[in-house]
Amino acid sequence: MVTEQSWRRVGRDGGLPLFRVAGIPVLLAPSWWLGSAAIVVLYAPMVERLVPGIGGTAGVLLAATFAVLLGLSVLAHELGHSLVALRLGIPVRRLRLFLLGGVSEVMRTPDRPGHEGLIAVAGPIVSIVLAGSFALGAAAIPHPDAVWLLIAQTAFANAAVAVFNLLPGLPLDGGRILRAGVWAATGRRALGTKAAVAGGGVVAVLLVGWAVLGLLDGSEDRWLRFGVCLLTAWFVVAGARGELSAERRKTWPEGLTLSQLMQPVLQLPAESPVSGALTASAGRGVVLVRADGVAAGLLDRGMAERLATTSPHAPAEQAAVPIRPETVLLENETGDELAERVMGTPAWEYLVVDLEGRPSGVLRREDLKAALDRG
């Protein structure tokens, strides 16, 4: 359940909370207002040129309406991603609208290429449906006027959103579709990520090239095109690099086994003196067990050392970190599953158990992170 306090915290992290859809918080980032203001400034003069007789105030109102319609269209695009993710059992943290569009923040990576492809393609499909609907609405107006221009421009904007997002490069939807295809063909998600990151580089180069071409041709919108293209190219490159970095953090290195990383585990009574527990640990993880057989937690070495300096005979349980379900790993989980779970769960140590639930070792987060960085 999302409490009022946590809802305010989500807002501080990502923008102004608007509402929830299917339990997903929808936020408006501060940069969205900048983008909308730019649309109003650029769109209002075009309205006055294309629709003679429209006054300045009416032009501004139409431009502001177009900015709102564009924002709602982007929201619908992102809801396409989010609702499909929920349908596939993948939770969504939040949906955020910002300067260059929107983002649906899923809380875990799809475990099948088909799921990744379905989530990615859902957004462009929504934009294509919206473009067709607005185009039909514009066609139904017999005499072009200001309303026709508004509807036609919204149809064009949705078509542009769909086409741009289908370009085969991360972090765009087309890049995710490309990754899903390579992943399905090779069985290697990391290879798909590398291919889609390369595609993102190509998209960025093409954007810069088109911007420079506008300057050389002396087109009327050359400076606007130049600024938008450079900003978008930067967004694509930054997003692609972020995707590559995230993939490396959760891709298990070839040839590495869990047994090579985890420490042996030792079980001690929870009431053992903390100084004795420290001495016995010596390079091993320690599970502290109460008299009733219930685990009190894992011994936190740093906490135990601090406690031992002041109260060496204090029960070791006072320096225990509770064992939560999300910090328990199965030794037969695949490497990629282990990496994603560990890197996505805030903890320093994780208890590894066998198929019968018996402790078989302790994995330290820093050991896994070092192995992933090397791999």
Positions marked catalytic: 78
Rounded to whole angstroms, what are the CA distances from 295 to 20, 179, 299, 350?
A: 39, 42, 11, 14
DSSP 117-177: HHHHHHHHHHHHHHHHHHHHHHHT-SS--HHHHHHHHHHHHHHHHHHHHTSSSTTSHHHHH
Q: How far apart are CA 137 and CA 145, in angstroms?
A: 13
Alpha-carbon dihedral angle through residues 44, 49, 54, 60, given to the nearest 10 degrees: 0
Of the candidates 256, 246, 242, 247, which has an alpha carbon nearest to the alpha carbon of residue 371?
A: 256
DSSP, res 264: P
DSSP, res 252: P
Give the SS3 label for residue 221. coil
- Is 272 within 8 Å of 316 (Cβ atoms)? yes
Of the candidates 80, 111, 108, 116, which has an alpha carbon nearest to the alpha carbon of residue 95?
A: 80
If you count them, how many residues does the chain have?
Answer: 375
Q: Which two tokens stand for residue 194?
A: 């590398």
Q: Which two tokens stand for residue 285?
A: 């993880």
